Amino acid sequence: MWINHHAIFRVMASVDQTVTFANGLLLMLVTAVPFATEIVAEFLTTDAASAGVALYAGLFALVSLAYNLLWWRVARRGRRLDPNHDPRATRTFSISLLLGLPLNLTAAAVAFWNPYTGFAICTTLWLFWSITPFDPLPNDRDE
């Protein structure tokens, strides 16, 4: 989560009020992650597992929505992007971010049928994003 957040700010050439708001929303939602994680850890092996995993996946759907709001405000028409950004990496990142909202909503819905499958969807997303980090300025890796 933080690697891609940092990458967004590395590629950003300018900030406006909407970017600041979107970032604040994202950071506010991230503060709820430990709570949702604790709920899953406490209730995953109980009858309340479905609700716990649905809450967890639902929170990450909101986080994904905030990430998309932030990213699309930065990337829209390329005006706020560093002129040296890699357009292919930017396009790939845009697509990977778009996957988050529907897949996390799917995980939340699936959790009511099978919480372990819902949680597996969330885990798969985490793994996907951890092995495919956004590298917007590939020629500037030392900064």
What is the domain extent for residue 38? 2-132
| pLDDT tens digits, 12-67 | 888 889 999 999 999 999 999 999 999 999 999 999 999 999 999 999 999 999 99
**22 located within any domain:** yes
Decide if pLDDT at 128 tops 80.
yes
Residue 82's pLDDT band, with cuts at 50, 70 and 90, is confident
| Closest to 135 (Cα-Cα) out of 90, 102, 77 | 90
Contact present, 7 and 85 (Cβ < 8 Å): no
Residue 104 has pLDDT above 70, yes or no: yes
Crossing angle of helices 115-131/87-111, nearest 10°? 170
The answer to whether 45 touches 116, Cβ cutoff 8 Å, is: no
C-beta separation of 115 from 92 below 8 A: no
Higher-pLDDT residue of 54, 138: 54
Helix (H) or strand (E) holding 3: helix 2-11
Q: What is the total count of domains within the chain?
A: 1
Report yes or no on 102 lying in a domain. Answer: yes
